[in-house]
Chain A
């Protein structure tokens, strides 16, 4: 192996990105779990942990620049580094969406929710699963998997529309619930956006393997876009 040091540095970058992705994945499902449990302390702790995710993103970004400057990666190696640079930005944003849900939890306060959450936890689980497999596709350089994941974004979008519809109906029936209904819509919107970013991660898998930058369209965009 003529470039052992470089191979190790690349592998280390990828491992650090995986660690960050695992934390973001946890934050996403935990944020909704905390929302359901009405746990204010856990929401504050999750918000605090987002700083760690942001710090990891900067550390990985800095290390990518060191690798570029010192090892001058070319071709597929360069694409891996470029993809990691891009991915950590996307992961950091997904982490922000989780943090946003925790903030919504604090804004709603410790009282009960308007209704038991059904579709929002489903959105969270779907998005978490998409994220998990997108990262898996990157690690395995699996273009076929990367191509099929974005289609699942349609299910997340459909659930978001359902949540939106239900909450509007509740507002029409009783305008006094407007504030909480609005906040819950934002929580669902955060999940919908997180799933969109998973599509971006899938696009980078294809870029890493083939060098092609293509847009993986899902059937329908968010109704808010």
Chain B
């Protein structure tokens, strides 16, 4: 069952077209990885999924992105509401310069989803889900920036899921992490898959192969091929995909 259906999406930075005619169904409770060389449009595509590109002046979108059947680019879309349904985790861990507790409580506070005295269970549940609770339960008031990078990134994921999103977008979530922290985040993604639709952009093809259920390959603003991950990395249909994943193009 698809959570997101992208239909004939085109995206422009001013006169420059960054995405051309992208159509892709993204399934719920699955991990979809987007791979491709730098500048191929995969991050731009990811940012279209929660309208993060709206903040960049001079950009333009045509086509449709349906979230549960509703076009997120419809004029009456509540963009703040959309971003609480479609959360995002960035390349570098970006905890706010606040305590661990306040980082996780940030979204529920801003969106007024919980009373102040109801925040603790949300914070605990979110930290439990990302496997960080046992590590930080005694230091919840400590500055989040004192955590290791891997812990910071899991904290950012906890912050994203605290507002109970339906979709989590991850833009190179492990590129700043060491190999062990990377594997921890990948394990976490597999656990979160049970409850969320996850889309990850990664330069690391082995990561895409390890963690995702489906993989899409972007090249020069086009979606060249999408298939089950195990098929993409053992026998892709398209020559360009083959050349890219075997390291002969890109």
Contact = CB atoms under 8 A, between A and B. Distances in A.
A75 B233 contact: yes
A102 B205 CA distance: 50
Nearest to B236: A75
Contacts of B233: 74-75, 78
A75 B245 contact: yes
Contacts of A75: 233-236, 241-242, 245-246
Nearest to A77: B246
Contact of A2 (B206, B241, B245, B248): B248
A74 B248 contact: no
Interface string B59-72: 00000000000000
Interface in A50-89: 72-79
Contacts of A211: 234-235
A74 B235 contact: no
A9 to B, nearest CB: 13
Given A74-B205, A74-B209, A76-B242, A210 B235 contact: yes
B234 A78 contact: yes
Contacts of A186: none
Interface string B235-250: 1100001100111100
Interface residues of A, number: 15
Contact of B234 (A3, A72, A79): A79
Contact of A73 (B235, B236, B241, B246): B246
B245 A6 contact: no
Contacts of A74: 205, 209, 233-234, 245-247
Nearest to A3: B247
Contacts of A77: 246
* Contact-residue size bin, chain B (C-beta under 8 Å from the other chain): 10 to 19
Nearest to B250: A2
Given A79-B234, A79-B235, A211-B235, A72 B206 contact: yes
A75 B236 CA distance: 7
Nearest to A2: B247
B237 to A, nearest CB: 10
Contacts of B242: 75-76
Nearest to A211: B235
Contacts of B234: 74-75, 78-79, 211
Nearest to A1: B248
Interface in B156-205: 205
A202 B130 CA distance: 49
Nearest to A71: B247
A147 B233 CA distance: 25
Nearest to A82: B234
A75 B233 CA distance: 5
A78 B234 CA distance: 7
A77 B233 CA distance: 10
Nearest to A6: B247
Interface in B208-250: 209, 233-236, 241-242, 245-248
A66 B135 CA distance: 37
A177 B205 CA distance: 65
The CB with the most chain A CB atoms within 10 A, among B206, B241, B242, B247, is that of B247
B73 to A, nearest CB: 35
Interface centre among A77, A210, A212 (most CB of B within 10 A): A77
A3 B246 CA distance: 9
Contacts of A3: 246-248
A212 B231 CA distance: 11
A25 B56 CA distance: 67
Interface in A97-156: none
Interface in B31-67: none
A74 B233 CA distance: 6
Interface of B: 205-206, 209, 233-236, 241-242, 245-248
Given A74-B245, A78-B234, 5 more contacts: A3-B246, A75-B233, A75-B234, A75-B236, A75-B241
4 cross-chain pairs, A with B, having the tightest CB-CB distances, nearest first: A211-B235, A3-B247, A74-B245, A77-B246
21 contacts: A2-B247, A2-B248, A3-B246, A3-B248, A72-B206, A73-B246, A74-B205, A74-B209, A74-B233, A74-B246, A74-B247, A75-B233, A75-B235, A75-B236, A75-B245, A75-B246, A76-B235, A77-B246, A78-B234, A211-B234, A212-B235
